[in-house]
């Protein structure tokens, strides 16, 4: 299995007003985006070309939107990238860039 192109742990994943997990995982690997619970169970996944990632205009800097299989998820990542060796999720803008980069590379 190839090394993941993007991995974030400790991510809050929500759908509408409902929180699905407070410490989930987001992973882009082998051309697929996966949203996982803290236990590793899959919430949703799709080919990265079919995923739309954006920054909500109404939310804090640490949030990103991901449209996966017609469902909109609100991801709460970090405001800033963690210091080297420090735990914590990467910044939301890195997630958006990773989705766009992975989709562009596969086309």
Average pLDDT, the chain: 87
- Residue 26 lies inside a defined structural domain of this protein: yes
104: part of which helix (H) or strand (E)? helix 92-106
The range of the structural domain enclosing residue 33 comes to 6-105
- Residue 71 lies inside a defined structural domain of this protein: yes
pLDDT at 31: 92
- Residue 12 lies inside a defined structural domain of this protein: yes
Residues 38-55 have pLDDT tens digits of: 999 999 999 999 999 999
Q: Has residue 32 got a pLDDT over 80? A: yes
Do residues 79 and 65 lie in contact, with contact meaning Cβ atoms separated by under 8 Å? no
Task: Give the model's confidence band at 33: pLDDT under 50 very low, under 70 low, under 90 confident, else very high.
Answer: very high
pLDDT at 89: 66
CB neighbour list of residue 62: distance below 8 Å, 6 or more residues apart: 76, 77, 78, 79, 91, 92
Closest by CA to 2, choosing from 34, 30, 40, is 30
Residues 70-101 have pLDDT tens digits of: 999 999 997 667 777 776 667 888 999 999 99
Q: pTM of the entire structure?
A: 0.84
CATH number at residue 41: 2.30.29.30
- Residue 61 lies inside a defined structural domain of this protein: yes
């Amino acid at each position: 299995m190839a090394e993941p192109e993007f991995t974030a742990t400790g991510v809050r994943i929500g759908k509408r007003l409902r929180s699905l997990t407070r410490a989930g995982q987001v992973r882009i690997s082998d051309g697929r985006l996966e949203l996982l619970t803290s236990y590793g169970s899959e919430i949703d996944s799709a080919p990265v070309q079919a995923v739309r990632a954006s920054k909500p205009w109404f939310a804090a800097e640490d949030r990103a939107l991901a449209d996966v299989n017609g469902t909109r998820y609100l991801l709460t990542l970090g405001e800033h990238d963690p210091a080297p060796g420090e735990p914590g999720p990467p910044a939301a803008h890195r997630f958006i860039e990773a989705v766009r980069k992975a989709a562009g590379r596969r086309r």
